[in-house]
Amino acid sequence: MTLTPSTSTPAVDETHRVQLSDLKMPTRLLLGPGPSNADPAVLSAVSMEPIGHLDPAYLALMDEVTTLMRYVWQTENQITFPVSGTGSAAMEATLANVVEPGDGVLVGVKGYFGHRLVDMAGRYGAKVSTITKPWGEVFSLAELRAALETHRPAVLALVHAETSTGARQPLEGVGDLCREFDCLLLVDTVTSMGGVPVFIDKWGVDLAYSCGQKGLSCLPGISPFTMSSRAIEKLTGRKTQVANWYLDVSLLLKYWGSERTYHHTAPVNLTYALREALRLIAEEGLEARWQRHQTHAEYLWSELAKLGLTCHVDPAYRLPTLTTVKIPAGVDGKAVTRKLLNDYNIEIGGGLGELAGKVWRIGLMGYNSRKENVDTLLGALKEVL
């Protein structure tokens, strides 16, 4: 029997069909603010055949990922798992779960991502206050104490590694301060996790988030998240439901916890990639990895000085993962980044916000933190300048 289409079936509109060749993308050396180049082992892992997100083999992999994340973050927090989304999704998860309408949230703003925390907190109905510093500077413990005394917030949010400025916020003593004022400490570790010392438990951090594509040298789209027992108490004591269903930890924990109840389809292959990225960190050892980043950053800084270029941040607070370099007077910063990309296949970043047009941002993160990459960039930069 021959089947024929129904006479009521409309004809296919071919207007938008295009003929394309197989996908080909340029190979770049990614020395900007992120993403960084992924380790070959990570790329191999992400290309493996996917399995179901409730497959017993995948559930076992989830346990490996959470264990490794606790090691890299130096925490024993029960709730430590990756959010299915970029770092901004993990950022939002921290606020969505502990902020109720009317809660006071104090944000330390010293760069672009402090402003993003302000925006997000306000959307959840928080009473947002800010303490500010010029972009590239950091807060002292005395300044934070004074702000907590004034505002008495439920949450203090700080960016540990400000991607827009290259500044590292000291966190020693801040957790104790937050306990004194009975508030939670929320920390952005997007550009520090995997490349800069982070001690979640020792520093008394209650909520933290990161991303996959920077110091971990994984891929965008899967982002570490953790919350302490103090933060869990705030979550369980809520008078209102978490406004964001997708990021509601009380629901996500049923999947990442012992129940293994379906919540959403996890990004299986990205979890493979994250597992490998974390495994490589454990294999290298945290202290060795931190030292590698510091060594190569200091080499970059010394060589930039030889070219007559100046870094934006004081050496005491400078990130080894991301360096902001002042654009010399009379130099077209965008023209330099374009030429590096087009002629040398090297990506560096321009400035954001208040630093737009004033600095370049050079990232040495994870797999990319190597002397040969610094030499390659410096050689190209000499010619372009």
Nearest Cα neighbor of 336 from 348, 325, 324 is: 348
For residue 205, report the phi and psi dihedrals to the nearest 5 degrees: -80, 130
Mean pLDDT, rounded, of the chain: 96
pLDDT in tens, 94-120: 999 999 999 999 999 999 999 999 999
Question: What mean pLDDT is predicted for residues 149-155?
Answer: 98
What local confidence, expressed as pLDDT, does residue 7 receive?
A: 62
Q: What is the mean pLDDT of residues 73-77?
A: 98
Domain ranges of the chain: 29-36+286-384, 40-282
Q: What integer is the mean pLDDT of 134-149? A: 98
Q: Is 29-36+286-384 a CATH 3.90.1150.10 domain?
A: yes
Look at residue 330 in the predicted model and tell me its pLDDT.
Answer: 94
- 363: exposed, middle or buried (C-beta count within 10 Å: 0-12, 13-18, 19+)? buried
> Average pLDDT, stretch 298-306?
98
Please state, in angstroms and rounded to a whole number, the distance separating the CA atoms of residues 35 and 40: 15
Element (H, E) at 68: helix 56-73
| pLDDT band, residue 83 (cuts 50/70/90) | very high
Residue 178's pLDDT band, with cuts at 50, 70 and 90, is very high
Identify the pLDDT of residue 15.
87
Q: Say if residues 219 and 270 touch (Cβ distance below 8 Å).
A: yes
Domains 29-36+286-384 and 40-282 agree in fold: no
Q: What is the tens place of the pLDDT at every residue in 195-215?
A: 999 999 999 999 999 999 999
Q: Which band of pLDDT confidence, cut at 50, 70 and 90, is reported for residue 5?
A: low
Supply the CATH classification number for the domain 40-282: 3.40.640.10
